[in-house]
Structure 1
Amino acid sequence: MAPLVAFIPRATFPPIESIVKSYFLGHHKSGITKMRQLLGSVELIIECRDYRVPLSSRNPMFEKNLVGRERMIVYTKRDLGAESLDEKTRETIRRWHKPQKVLFTDCKSDADIKKVIKYAKDIANSVDNVLGTRMMLAGMPNVGKSSLLNALRRVGMGKGKAAITGGQPGVTRSIGTTVRICSDPDIMLLDTPGVFIPYVPNTHTMLKLALVGCVKDTLIDPVTLCDYLLFRVNLVDPTLYSAYHPPTNDITQLLTATAIQTGRLGKGGVPDITATAIWLIQRYRAGDLGRFILDDVDLEAFDRRIQEEASEGQSANQLRKEIKAERAAHKASKASTID
């Protein structure tokens, strides 16, 4: 018998030029404008980022527009990146942000939420405003801002939900009223809509953001996105999908086998590849296909990200033209598919 050939995962994922690299919508623009106008009335900005994509969920627009106020960076959904939640990784991320405060949270953990409240209290006590202290939540779409607000209200005030949450971005589309998260000292927190970056520097970043749910699922073909998921899972542990198929680099093989085993079949028993791709993506987002970080985390990674953003060197008008062209091409592609 011939010896079994060891599985070798793909070392790279090919660039796909057809992937849209923009998701900067009208309410994103109006959101950042309103946030800038309210900046003078708040004492602390709590910026949320998804722990699974600590660099990709960074929005440089906040660095530019929300300056002059104390900022705390809260990495949400740490439970979904638990396999990478070691002290070395956390310390590296903290060093990216010094001297800003950095916390890692799971909104279901009261202990995590109490740490956020404690720092907010420290800021409020240092200001000592007799009318109470206002703070602002900020972050990319669907990074967990509203979930964090609800958790802060639950732990700080013993009350239920104040903000609607959902698995898709865009649930919070405008700046709402303030929500009290602590009564001693009095702290009011302002929920804001997620603001996407005007232009994503590369397709890998867009695929990462799509995979964790920061863009609408309709923006990128689910089979393409699931192929990227397969690529990332194989680099971590190809046995994570062993219930459906042996290790493979072929997304069609995996989706076909998974569709048959899970009963996702169309007319005539034909495997529903698209529905199966969506299901696997949802399983990943729930933490059932590995809990790991998608971005590189080292001291140089942050500098590379900053240089990447700076090296784009395109005018705002050029960016708008490219975004408009990409959206038109994407719309035309969808129309031709329907026809």
Structure 2
Amino acid sequence: MLTHIPFPVLPAPPSWFPGHMLQFARALPGVLARTDVVLELRDARLPLTSINRNFEGAIQKWRKERGRVAAELPTDAAGPSTLALQRPAPSRGLVCERIVVFNKRDLVAEWGIEPFRRAMAVKYPDQKVFFASWNRQRDIKTLNDMLVGIAKSNPHIPEMNVLVVGMPNVGKSTLLNALRTTGIPGPTSKALRTSSQPGLTRALSNRLKLSLDPPVYSYDSPGVMLPFLGNGDPGAERGVKLALIAGIKEGLYDIEALAAYLLYRLNVLDPVSPAYLRLLPPGTSPLTDVYAFLDALATRLCMLQRGGVPDQARAAVWLINWWRSEGGLLAAAAPAPEVGAHAHRRGWGFDLEWEVGAGGAGVQDPTAVQKRMEECIDRFERSAAQEERAGGGVSATQEKKRVREELLAKRAARTRARLTARRGGS
């Protein structure tokens, strides 16, 4: 078992915020005005990092305009499904529901889903949480029934509109295609194009019918990245995480930096027998040095340069592609690691990790895991608030642009004032 897993050195995050993202972010309040249900998709592997706080202001304003405020719900032993349904009714007959869908649930370990669901119910009692994967028909059917149930409970509206939002490449278009196939009887053609690369959807889609009776329609939206990923280590780690799930345009990151962070995360997920060991010769022990690992992997795959030198760059590319296509499933399907005799780090997904003391509570104790996850959420919220206070959500370039725009606005105001004074004097 690995008892010490060093954190890798990560590069500063790049900026990737194309014009179509800014355009949709500005149009979001107007789109919400004709929306009844918001499906906010997040990646189950990054349940906290894939939160886009730029959506929060518009969504909270939408909820306020429709008379829906956050409910003060109990945080006792009631299950998350009970908590999610204890909400005030919207005023003026307007439907206002927000469902947070953690997509790609098949890529996270099953033992952590229920504890995390309960932790979310405690920390965010006003959010209805659902885990899904487009290739699990039971999940799609349950989510479709949830949307149809909301429509049937509001018979006063002639049709219900659903808006799907989220960061790039969290699976919005794929999930909508699956919902449409489930909700519409008979053969249904694929309505939305999908891609493994981010940024394919660049504009709000036409309305898609998800249900005939009651009529439920949906809009697909462009994935919107954060304009600035942050300063220091938090911003660097946030960028690498999003790059690993292909949420950032390919080529903006050094591939060996991604491999180093992936190695770290796979070690945290299973410090006893990480998923990558099946790629190496039998009997190989877990590794923490990325260069030693890439040498071993390149040798194993016969990726050698002239003179028999292992090709680390090719091995890093192969590793990332393996993890996205197969390794993620293997890591999620691995049995939950047992508590060892030594203190070590334990993780679930790429956002939650905690220290486990020798002989401490293991994954067999869901209550203890839930408590650890709640602590991770608290740390995330404190860190986000601290970044916000320190201006971490705005880059130096964006700050210079804002100052310049304010200066130009002041100059324009002074010019208008002088013109007005001259006209008044004459």
Q: Give 3-state SS (helix, strand or coil) of 2:327's partner.
A: coil
In 1, are the aligned partners of 2:115 and 2:373 still within 8 Å (CA)?
A: no
Give the drift of 1:318: 5.2
Q: Give 3-state SS (helix, strand or coil) of 1:66's partner.
A: helix
**CA RMSD across the alignment:** 2.5
Query: Residues of 1 paired with 2:258 and 2:183: CA distance?
Result: 39
In 2, are the aligned partners of 1:84 and 1:293 still within 8 Å (CA)?
A: no
Q: Describe the shift of the 1:7–1:95 C-alpha distance in structure 2 as closer, same or farther (beyond 3 A).
A: closer
Query: Residues of 2 paired with 1:90 and 1:218: CA distance?
Result: 34
For structure 2, the 5+ residue unaligned runs are 64-95, 333-347, 353-371, 402-426
Q: Describe the shift of the 1:123–1:229 C-alpha distance in structure 2 as closer, same or farther (beyond 3 A).
A: same
Give the drift of 1:285: 2.0
For structure 1, the 5+ residue unaligned runs are 1-5, 326-339
- Tell me which residue corresponds to 1:241: 276
In 1, are the aligned partners of 2:276 and 2:327 still within 8 Å (CA)?
A: no
Query: Residues of 2 paired with 1:168 and 1:94: CA distance?
Result: 32
- Tell me which residue corresponds to 1:319: 395
Query: Residues of 2 paired with 1:235 and 1:200: CA distance?
Result: 23
Deviation larger for 225-234 or 300-309: 300-309
Q: Does residue 225 of structure 2 align to residue 192 of structure 1?
A: no
% identical aligned pairs? 33
Counterpart amino acid of 1:304? R
Query: Residues of 1 paired with 2:17 and 2:302: CA distance?
Result: 37
Query: Residues of 2 paired with 1:106 and 1:119: CA distance?
Result: 15
Taking structure 1 as the reference length, what is the TM-score of the superposition? Answer: 0.85
Question: Given the alignment, which residue of 131, 145, 150 partners 1:104?
Answer: 131
For 1:111-133, what per-residue CA distance to the aligned partner results, in whole angstroms no more than 9, with x for missing partners?
Answer: 11122112211222233356421
For 1:51-83, what per-residue CA distance to the aligned partner results, in whole angstroms no more than 9, with x for missing partners?
Answer: 111000001111112232421000000000034
Q: Give 3-state SS (helix, strand or coil) of 2:109's partner.
A: helix
Q: Describe the shift of the 1:254–1:11 C-alpha distance in structure 2 as closer, same or farther (beyond 3 A).
A: closer
Please give the residue correspondences for 1:1-339 in structure 2 after superposition, counting only pairs within 5 Å: 7-14=2-9, 16=10, 18-67=11-60, 68=63, 69-128=96-155, 131-158=158-185, 159-201=188-230, 202=234, 203-237=236-270, 238-243=273-278, 244=280, 246=284, 247-266=286-305, 270-289=309-328, 290-291=331-332, 292-296=348-352, 298-312=373-387, 313=389, 319=395, 321=397
In 2, are the aligned partners of 1:80 and 1:286 still within 8 Å (CA)?
A: no
Q: Give 3-state SS (helix, strand or coil) of 2:146's partner.
A: helix
Larger Rg: 2
Q: Describe the shift of the 1:154–1:317 C-alpha distance in structure 2 as closer, same or farther (beyond 3 A).
A: closer
Give the drift of 1:95: 2.8
Give the drift of 1:231: 0.9
Give the drift of 1:148: 0.8
Counterpart amino acid of 2:155? D
Give the drift of 1:162: 1.3
In 2, are the aligned partners of 1:9 and 1:231 still within 8 Å (CA)?
A: no
In 1, are the aligned partners of 2:103 and 2:170 still within 8 Å (CA)?
A: yes
Q: Describe the shift of the 1:324–1:174 C-alpha distance in structure 2 as closer, same or farther (beyond 3 A).
A: farther
Deviation larger for 226-235 or 194-203: 194-203
